[in-house]
Structure 1
């Protein structure tokens, strides 16, 4: 009887597969509800092999959050900071596109929801502080405007978690919710 051998996957590729599966799992179930067994099954590796790549469940959760932060940095902050003018409008438009990735939005919410853990609370505090500081550092943006912009972005984060963009056009309330106080209006 011949046995079928699977091709070896590099540790970098395996790490990417695990992070993708963990985003799916943790974004919907959180740190405590998410299952590393499910993540391992999704990646088609053994549970012990998952822990060879990420030594703890919390470490994996943090790695997923850091991946989300990197995505926000690349897709929202960099274009906004590079814009010749209308920095907030550029960032708001980029955030609107990012909202289409519901799992990313849910993961941010899961990060905040997991702040009873001091390590995650410190991570979320640092990311939120950095976010507001970067907005405040934009030309012509004061603290009040930066806070309003962050608050509007958070409102849209909540809208994405409720999947309102998917029902826009068929639900009058969702349309009003998404249209009111559009992020980036100054």
Structure 2
């Protein structure tokens, strides 16, 4: 069996970190747990990443990149409301197919908020820039004005909240969404 390159091993650490951080959060996940999941030693893990924060940042950035890729594929060749419907449907499918993506996003928001509250403003800077880039790309994909893009993201964040809290699809809190049409907007 061929040895994994450092880049392949790094990728496996990022994927494992997404799963671990998604379930246990920044403070609840140990680097030992990530190392064990990947099958490497902690010293090797720290040759790939400078520390836990670097691993978390890489996992968060991967989560944003995965969402960006889903949005780009969904909107290919579409404009306006068609693009909006496709983006909403693709995102909802992503969180069904890969719930770690949603949970990692929620952990990312919580970790940045906690760091900010503790006075660590640098921790969230890269993640804010990444999220801002995602917002900008979706804005362009939608061909929307500021209000339409804000509305799209507002509904998306509500979907994140309801899904992460485990509200089933038939629950009354979903009643304002047209989930069958793929829209990320209210009726």
TM range (shorter): 0.7 to 0.9
Q: Paired residue for 1:158? A: 161
Any residues of structure 2 matched to 1:90-169 within 5 Å, and which? 90-100=86-96, 101-115=98-112, 116=115, 117-138=120-141, 141-164=144-167, 167-168=168-169
Is the Cα–Cα contact under 8 Å of residues 10 and 48 in structure 2 kept in the other structure? yes
Q: Paired residue for 2:83? A: 87
Which of these residues, 44, 59, 62, is aligned with residue 57 of structure 2? 62
Find the structure with the greater CA-based Rg.
Answer: 1
Q: Shift in Å at residue 26 of structure 1?
A: 0.8
Q: Number of residue pairs matched?
A: 174
Is the Cα–Cα contact under 8 Å of residues 23 and 103 in structure 1 kept in the other structure? yes
Determine helix, strand or coil for the equivalent of 1:131: helix
Stretches of structure 2 lacking an aligned partner (at least 5 in a row):
none
Stretches of structure 1 lacking an aligned partner (at least 5 in a row):
1-5
| CA RMSD, 1 decimal | 2.3
What TM-score do the two structures reach when normalised by structure 2?
Answer: 0.81
Q: Shift in Å at residue 122 of structure 1?
A: 1.3
Determine helix, strand or coil for the equivalent of 1:82: coil
Is the Cα–Cα contact under 8 Å of residues 111 and 120 in structure 1 kept in the other structure? no
What TM-score do the two structures reach when normalised by structure 1?
Answer: 0.82
Give the 3 Å change call, closer, same or farther, for CA 144–25 of structure 1 in structure 2: same
Separation (CA, whole Å) in 2 of partners of 1:139 and 1:25: 33
Which of these residues, 23, 40, 50, is aligned with residue 28 of structure 1? 23
Instruction: Give the number of the structure with larger relative contact order, counting CA–CA contacts within 8 Å between residues 6 or more apart.
Output: 2
